[in-house]
Amino acid sequence: MSYSYTARPPKVRAMANWATFSVLLAVVVIMLGAWTRLVDAGLGCPDWPGCYGFIKVPQSDSHIAIANARFPDTPVDVAKGWPEMIHRYAAGTLGLVVFGLAASAIRQRRSGVPFKLPLFIAAFILLQGAFGMWTVTLKLWPQVVALHLLGGFTTLSLLTLLVLRLRKFSADQAVTPTAARVTPNKPEQPAASLAGFRPWLFGGLLLIIMQVALGAWTAANYAAVACTDLPTCQGQWWPEGMDFQHGFDIAQHVGPNYLGGQLTADGRVAIHVTHRVGALVVLGYFAILLILIRRRDHSRELRGPAGLVAAALAAQITLGLANVMFYIPLPIAVAHNAMGAGLLLSVIYLIWRHYQLPLQAQVETATHTTTMHQEITA
């Protein structure tokens, strides 16, 4: 019994390449969103999807006069309008790519290409666009801003999962059904030393998601500068007067312009300190988990993905510390957002590779059997 191989379907390969491009574009959109927020350009255009009723930021004297007449309470600031519109252009391009992937999945659904996930991502992109609109029309209401940030990370995660599934599907199509008959009907389980890590990996993913949510809430309420010293906050390990009830009040009423934030200083300190504590919890959890994986991964299958998580976590902690030490410099703050996405994706990739361990064991067993058969019959 032997393997026979066929060429990868060009359409599936092209779809996988476009999905990879969408992941890269999603990272750019997240970084542009961070840039827009950090330069206080979230309301650089008071309407949506245009800017003062124009498709681009008004710059000529006549267009600026028209724009100011339309929105007398928010005069045109070209320097803040462009970051907002560039972010929208990139997000719109990402939406078009995602819709194209969904259309391609519909056309190829009979071939077994992942079908439901691209459609779900397309629907989620529409929801994310709605949150982008509400971010502007509700004047940076923290609840919506935080959900919009989380939506960006969710979109990136889903697109990454789509890439992994398409790459796997394309690789599987390179082997004809002849090889499939070699695989036992009952799939093998991962090595006993690694099988027990699955719930702990998902626990780590949950911690990362919670920390991302805390980061989003910190950014939405302008709490990143509430503590400007390390390792203490305002000279205290546990600042007095922290107002957790006010800081985490998700029932803030709609109405004020939230540019710059509306929370009290004690509320912002509570948010900032909670984000720091969350970072320590994540660091401790993954330090232990990754060490245990390294000790028990005798086949070295997870060494690479685990090392990627460790590198991303170290970089993210370093950038977070640098943010405080250097008072939120724009390049470091944007990189901190991007590395947060990188850390999330590295954990997702580690879980994906853990799920592939049974399949890899099957393939290795089948390959070994085929090699022995060839040697005997030679």
| Max mean pLDDT range (23-27, 179-183, 296-300, 367-371) | 23-27
With contact defined as beta carbons under 8 Å apart, do 347 and 51 qualify? Answer: no
Contacts of residue 278, defined as CB under 8 A and 6 or more positions apart, other chains included, come to: 207, 210, 211, 214
The catalytic position among 84, 188, 240, 301 is 84
Q: What is the pLDDT of residue 365?
A: 41
With contact defined as beta carbons under 8 Å apart, do 248 and 142 qualify? Answer: no
**6 pLDDT exceeds 60?**
no
- The four Cα atoms 19, 20, 25, 27 give a dihedral, to 10 degrees, of 120
What percent of the chain stands above pLDDT 70?
86
As a whole number of angstroms, the distance between CA 123 and CA 76 comes to 33
Quick one: how far is CA 360 from the chain centroid? 27
As a whole number of angstroms, the distance between CA 208 and CA 204 comes to 6
Q: What is the pLDDT of residue 52?
A: 96
Please write the tens of the pLDDT for every residue from 73-104: 999 999 999 999 999 999 999 999 999 999 99
Residue 259, CB-side half-sphere exposure with 13 Å CA sphere: 17
Q: Is 84 a catalytic residue?
A: yes
Q: What is the pLDDT of residue 318?
A: 97
**285-313 mean pLDDT:** 93
Q: What is the pLDDT of residue 300?
A: 84
Please name every residue paired with 5 in a beta bridge, in sequence order, or none if there are none: 175
Q: What is the pLDDT of residue 172?
A: 75
**297 pLDDT exceeds 90?**
no
**158 pLDDT exceeds 90?**
yes
With contact defined as beta carbons under 8 Å apart, do 243 and 190 qualify? Answer: no
**3 pLDDT exceeds 60?**
no
Residues in the chain: 378
Q: What is the pLDDT of residue 110?
A: 84
Q: What is the pLDDT of residue 91?
A: 97
Q: What is the pLDDT of residue 364?
A: 45
As a whole number of angstroms, the distance between CA 314 and CA 343 comes to 9
Q: What is the pLDDT of residue 175?
A: 61
**259-271 mean pLDDT:** 91
With contact defined as beta carbons under 8 Å apart, do 39 and 330 qualify? Answer: yes
What percent of the chain stands above pLDDT 90?
74
Please name every residue paired with 54 in a beta bridge, in sequence order, or none if there are none: 51
**57 pLDDT exceeds 80?**
yes
Quick one: pLDDT band at residue 217, thresholds 50, 70, 90?
A: very high
DSSP string, 308-352: HHHHHHHHHHHHHHHHHHTT--HHHHHHHHHHHHHHHHHHHHHHH
Positive/negative CA dihedral, 206, 212, 215, 219: negative
**281 pLDDT exceeds 60?**
yes
**373 pLDDT exceeds 60?**
no
**370 pLDDT exceeds 60?**
no
Averaged confidence pLDDT in the chain = 87
Q: What is the pLDDT of residue 359?
A: 44
Peptide bond into 190 cis (omega under 30): no
**62-67 mean pLDDT:** 96
Q: What is the pLDDT of residue 301?
A: 86
With contact defined as beta carbons under 8 Å apart, do 57 and 80 qualify? Answer: no
Quick one: pLDDT band at residue 174, thresholds 50, 70, 90?
A: low
Q: Which of 77, 76, 93 is nearest to 32 (CA)?
A: 93
Q: What is the pLDDT of residue 111?
A: 83
With contact defined as beta carbons under 8 Å apart, do 220 and 149 qualify? Answer: yes
DSSP annotation of 49: S
As a whole number of angstroms, the distance between CA 261 and CA 364 comes to 57
Q: What is the pLDDT of residue 280?
A: 97
**178 pLDDT exceeds 90?**
no
**128-133 mean pLDDT:** 96
Burial 318-332 (b: 16+ CB within 10 A, else e): ebbbbbbeeeeeeeb
The pair of structure tokens assigned to 115 is 């079908």
With contact defined as beta carbons under 8 Å apart, do 116 and 158 qualify? Answer: no
Task: At 175, give phi and psi (nearest 5°).
Answer: -110, 130
Q: What is the pLDDT of residue 362?
A: 42
Q: What is the pLDDT of residue 225?
A: 92
With contact defined as beta carbons under 8 Å apart, do 286 and 204 qualify? Answer: yes
Environment class of residue 368 by beta-carbon count within 10 Å: exposed (0-12), middle (13-18) or buried (19+)?
exposed
Burial 11-39 (b: 16+ CB within 10 A, else e): ebeebbebbbebbebbbebbbbbbbbbbe
As a whole number of angstroms, the distance between CA 35 and CA 86 comes to 10
**283 pLDDT exceeds 60?**
yes
DSSP annotation of 371: H
As a whole number of angstroms, the distance between CA 300 and CA 102 comes to 36
